Structure 1
Amino acid sequence: MSGSDAGATLPRGPLAGFATGSLGMGIWVTVPGLLLLYFLTDTLAVAPWLAGLTLLLPKVADVLLHPWIGHRCDVEQARRGHRRRLLLAGCVLPVGFAALFAVPGGLTGAAAAAWVALFFIAGNLLFAAYQVPYLATPADLRIGYHERTRLMAFRMVVLTVGILLSGLLAPLLAGGDAPTRGGYQRMGLLLAAGMLAAMLVGVTGIDRLRRRAAANPAPAGPDGWRALTASLRDRQFRALAGAYLAMSTTTHLVLAGVPYYAEYELGRPRLTTVLVAAFVAPALVVTPGWLAVARRVGKQRALLGAQAAFALGALVLAVGRPAGLPVLVAAVAVLGVAFAGMQLLPFAMLPDVINAAGAARAGTYTGVWTATEATGAALGPYAYALCLAAGGFVASTAGQAVTQSTAAHAAIRYGFGLLPAVVMLGAVLLQRRYTLDHAARAGH
């Protein structure tokens, strides 16, 4: 596709079908990030440092597996003209999700951590099999700069619904103020059923989009490591992926900290659902606004504004209880507004980078991108777990009452507010190195 080709305008029906796939993906992204660390430390009696490693180490394999899956996507695209086989393989993910929370009753501590780590590895691999070809779709279509943003805006709204529903329902299904092993198991099974249905609809939506606006299949790019190193040599991609790594780390850090902040800082565990709603729900309203801002000032400038707003909102949360509950909920809502922009804009910028580099490597670029996202999803909870460990947080089993020290309370608060602000400022500095947006906007 040439730089001057505006491409097709996509109809709403296939757009909605494509976006529905993100409903299932949103469950996997949200629920482990929100509850898995808390499940390990407060239900399975896993020490915070070990719980953090349990979430971090399975992601190490993703750094290699995601780019490899991306390259296999490119081979499939070149040979068959589609990436459907990997998408269907990824639809086994709900089985891994249900098993993640179905820890046998006799397992606690290190044994329970091993069970969770095993199924987290399996789930991450299946998620990559679905996510990589899914996110390569915009680069496979004959669409331009603004239509890519529109496509990802549809995805963002549905993804937000998935994040919001799963973020609200998962704690309630697990037992609310008194979560139990049985509650977590029930939650895993119910959400897995919804995940499977949404992912299958997403496959159908992608098929319809490709029939409408698929570009001609490009020859396969370089093999294996050559494809990976080619993407890493791309200066624009490095800047965008580096900034997104910082953003992903920050948002997952905040998500992992929500149950702790609600219970130990605010003293009301049920506020977990309120904070999750305040964080996620704004995207349902403001995503069209971010789309309009991106059209007016460009995607990069809009993204820089979202990053700055997130950092400011996080600093308010570091103040904690003295600021008052309404102010803290409002600060989380500011994070939510910024989060909507940070979910829409980088994913709309990625196809611009791929288009500039050549669509033959769309899968490899997307594989590296999703490896970056997976790394951030692991680093965020791990960073928060380290904060808890440094503050002397005491792990417990379900129903066991523990009094945390003053240092532990401070770690909960500063890990939830101050640390995210610092990391997000790093994202701003990295994002300023990205210089493609003006040319991409002018060419499309």
Structure 2
Amino acid sequence: MDSADAKIAGGGTATAEHTHQEPLTLKTKLLYGAPSFAGAAMIIPIFIHMPKFYADVVLVPLGYLAMAIAIARSLDALSDPLMGWISDHTHTRLGRRRPYMLIGAPLCGIAFFCLLNPPASLKGKDAAVWFGITFILYFLFHTVYVLPHYALGPELTQNYNDRSTLFAWRESFTILGTIVASVAPGVLKTAFHLTDRQVFFELGIFFGVALTVLYWLLALTLKERPDFVARESNPLVPGVRRALRNRPFAILLASYVVGSIAGAIPATMMPFFNAYVIRPHDPTASLSLLLAGYFGFGFISLPMWVAVARRVGKLNAWLASFFLGISGGALMFLLGPGDLKALFVLICWAGIGFGAGLFLTPSMQADVIDYDELYTGKRREAQYTAFWSMLPKFIAIPSAAIPIAILASLGYIPNAIQSPRVVFAIRAIFALTPATCSVLSFLIARRFPITQTIHNAILEGIEQHARGEVAVDPMTGAIVPPPKPGHDEDVGWFLDYFSSGELKRYLAKGASRPVRDVITMAAVSIGVSVLSIIYVLHRVHSLSTDPGALTSVIVVAAGLALAIFAFHVMRLAPARRLAAGEIPADVVRAHLGEVVEAAHEGTPKRAAG
């Protein structure tokens, strides 16, 4: 126990009173978790089967597939923060989250079916366009329902351990759906002698309908907590700045972003590794077996990880799980033709570690949201969930697209024995790159500071604020006054449209400076985006040349630049208000002092797990 924990324990503020909330019923956990069965099942054919299906069956050049994936995922990532903000600001009879589940799930099911079933007449560039459009629509509608669904979880309970079990149930359904989707293609082809197109037709119908039914059942049965629905949310841009000041969240997000590379690459490369490195007699059947082993062992290990987390804490349990993924992934590099049994053992070994991260990280994220409420007085589940989703997606885009483009540039030939350099590239990308990223993610995750003792103290501080009393930040010892609704609070949120540097330049160089800063940054951002788009269009004007790996990176750059442009556009009107002198200079100086103090006090002490 470190000094922060000792102080809390000695002071008696972190007691069992914060776990008094009634435990969630099994019905609630099932209703909340079950929709993830269908949602997760859809991911398998999209990320595992579709790239190879479109490359080897539909005959879309790999370079164009990589580019289509990059474009679609960039637009998908851009929609996340907007959807999070919209959900947090929604006030309807059904609540903030449920209306979007009712709308998004059926639309996503339709897009999923279309993605899996391109018309047989489409070839080459036309098929790539079909893939890109349906891919974009799938992820757009996926964002509409999944962000509100994930944001609902932290609202259902604030109990430290009950959250772990809630997310464990959700991820149990996630893994179950993943297993079913993993083995289904092999079973359907072997037992019923179906072609690839027939298999994907059946899967498109089944999972599209299942997604709609399960989400409608959740939305029409499980009610949102009225006290959370009634709470005021915040402006989007200041919310972004305050979220990034949340040090525990920044640590957790950084670890997750780096670790997302370790998840994106194997998902895309496993079919290629299986077919062209291991070279089994029946690649489809063996791939189903490998996926079933990975997700199956992740599923059966969940109760073990829940017990471990209760005993040693969420962080220590999560850190232990890294070892399995790192060691299992690195050893796969040593495998070659005929090593199917060894690959299966290593896949299962890594799958045990995979199960821990599925539910522990969202549970830890929910604790971070409580810490945010301690300082802001607002509930921002969807906005934090959007961050959690958006930034890893931008990292995962090149992780999924670039490996495919690299194979194309090295001379990959569909449905043939590959050259030694292509085989080596597949082995290195599939095994070594994710293992390296997992090591980096582990080193970042070690710094996460919120323990059960600290979390109980955070909830106590929120209760003290509700009574109008000051609270203590349990990680830093800083005094945290209750947020004061009204003019002062509104001014604080308004000034958070601007960085400390921008406010200092405003005070030093004149009222027009904020507008100039915002316009300059917006112009630079849109310029980068436009130039990137021009470059991509120049590269893809003909199927006669492969667009190459660099094109996928440029697409990601265009998407990021567009997101930054939108961010600055939303700051233009506040900049004009600031330039008009609406906020006195002494108020700005006081705000700058508070920001500096918060940044200093927000550096958490290292807490034991």
Q: Please report the TM-score for the alignment, with normalisation by the length of structure 2.
A: 0.67
Is 1:258 paired with 2:273? no
* Unmatched 5+ stretches in structure 1: none
Q: Aligned residue for 2:372?
A: 357
Q: CA deviation at 1:421?
A: 0.6
Q: CA deviation at 1:430?
A: 2.3
With 172-181 and 186-195 compared, the bigger mean Cα shift is at: 172-181
Choose the corresponding residue for 1:25, options 39, 45, 48.
Answer: 39
Change (3 A) 1:169 1:322: closer
With 418-427 and 381-390 compared, the bigger mean Cα shift is at: 381-390
Q: CA deviation at 1:248?
A: 2.7
Q: CA deviation at 1:312?
A: 0.8
* Counterpart AA for 1:384: P
Q: Aligned residue for 1:155?
A: 170
Distance 1:230 1:78 in 2: 26
Q: Aligned residue for 1:296?
A: 311
Q: Give the percent of matched residue pairs that are identical in Structure 1 and Structure 2.
A: 22
Is 1:286 paired with 2:301? yes
Change (3 A) 1:48 1:182: same
Is 1:368 paired with 2:383? no
Distance 1:57 1:174 in 2: 32
Q: Deviations over 1:121-146 (max 9, x none)?
A: 11111111111111111222343111
Choose the corresponding residue for 1:415, options 429, 451, 457.
Answer: 429
Distance 1:90 1:12 in 2: 26
Distance 1:37 1:296 in 2: 42
With 337-346 and 375-384 compared, the bigger mean Cα shift is at: 375-384
Q: CA deviation at 1:5?
A: 2.0
Q: Deviations over 1:164-191 (max 9, x none)?
A: 1012114554789995444433432233
Q: Deviations over 1:310-349 (max 9, x none)?
A: 0110011111127933222111011111110111110111
Q: CA deviation at 1:195?
A: 2.6
* Counterpart AA for 2:204: G
Change (3 A) 1:183 1:25: closer
Q: CA deviation at 1:29?
A: 2.5
Count of equivalent residues: 434
Greater relative contact order (Cα 8 A, min sep 6): structure 1 or 2? 1
* Unmatched 5+ stretches in structure 2: 1-12, 460-609
Contact 2:254 2:444 in 1 (8 A): yes
Q: Aligned residue for 1:73?
A: 87
Q: CA deviation at 1:294?
A: 0.9
With 217-226 and 33-42 compared, the bigger mean Cα shift is at: 217-226
* Counterpart AA for 1:352: D
Choose the corresponding residue for 1:5, options 12, 15, 18.
Answer: 18
Change (3 A) 1:300 1:223: same
Change (3 A) 1:427 1:238: same
Distance 2:425 2:187 in 1: 26
Q: Aligned residue for 1:139?
A: 154
With 332-341 and 50-59 compared, the bigger mean Cα shift is at: 50-59
Cα-Cα RMSD: 2.5
Contact 1:174 1:187 in 2 (8 A): no
With 17-26 and 189-198 compared, the bigger mean Cα shift is at: 189-198
Choose the corresponding residue for 1:224, options 196, 215, 236.
Answer: 236
Q: CA deviation at 1:203?
A: 2.6
Change (3 A) 1:77 1:281: farther
Contact 1:83 1:133 in 2 (8 A): yes
Q: Aligned residue for 1:120?
A: 135
Distance 1:278 1:199 in 2: 28
* Counterpart AA for 2:229: P
* Counterpart AA for 1:49: G
With 358-367 and 170-179 compared, the bigger mean Cα shift is at: 170-179
Distance 2:210 2:188 in 1: 14
- 3-state DSSP of counterpart to 2:34: helix
Change (3 A) 1:316 1:149: same
Distance 1:282 1:299 in 2: 20
Contact 2:367 2:455 in 1 (8 A): no
Change (3 A) 1:214 1:163: farther
Is 1:337 paired with 2:352? yes
With 67-76 and 214-223 compared, the bigger mean Cα shift is at: 214-223
Distance 1:365 1:135 in 2: 10
Q: CA deviation at 1:73?
A: 1.1
- 3-state DSSP of counterpart to 1:26: helix
Q: CA deviation at 1:223?
A: 1.6
Contact 2:277 2:337 in 1 (8 A): no
Contact 1:309 1:334 in 2 (8 A): yes
* Counterpart AA for 2:418: Q
Q: Deviations over 1:60-106 (max 9, x none)?
A: 12332111111111112598644211111111211010011221222
